[in-house]
Amino acid sequence: VLFRLVRRPPSRPKPSPKILAAAGALLVLLVWALWPSPWSRVKNLDSSGLAIIAFGDSLTAGNGASAGEDYPAALSKEIGLAVVNAGVSGDTTEAALSRLDSDVLSKNPRIVLVGLGGNDFLQSVAPSSTEANLRSIVRRIQNAGAMVVILGFTFPSLGADYESMYERVARE
Report the percentage of the chain scoring pLDDT > 70: 83
Residue 55 and residue 134 in contact, taking contact as beta carbons nearer than 8 Å: no
In this prediction the pTM is: 0.75
- In tens, the pLDDT along 11-31 reads 667 767 777 777 777 777 766
Return the ∠ at Cα 101 (arms to 67 and 104), rounded to 5°.
40
Selection from 156, 155, 168 nearest residue 59 by Cα: 155
Asked whether the predicted pLDDT for residue 48 surpasses 80, the reply is yes
Classify residue 55 by its DSSP letter.
E
- In tens, the pLDDT along 49-99 reads 999 999 999 999 998 888 888 999 999 999 999 999 999 999 999 999 999
DSSP symbols for 123-157? TT--HHHHHHHHHHHHHHHHHTT-EEEE-------
Residue 132 and residue 165 in contact, taking contact as beta carbons nearer than 8 Å: no
- Name, in order, each residue with C-beta under 8 angstroms of 47's C-beta and a sequence gap of 6 or more: 109, 110, 111, 145, 146, 147
Count other Cβ atoms within 10 Å, centred on residue 85.
19
Distance of alpha carbon 140 from alpha carbon 137, whole angstroms: 5
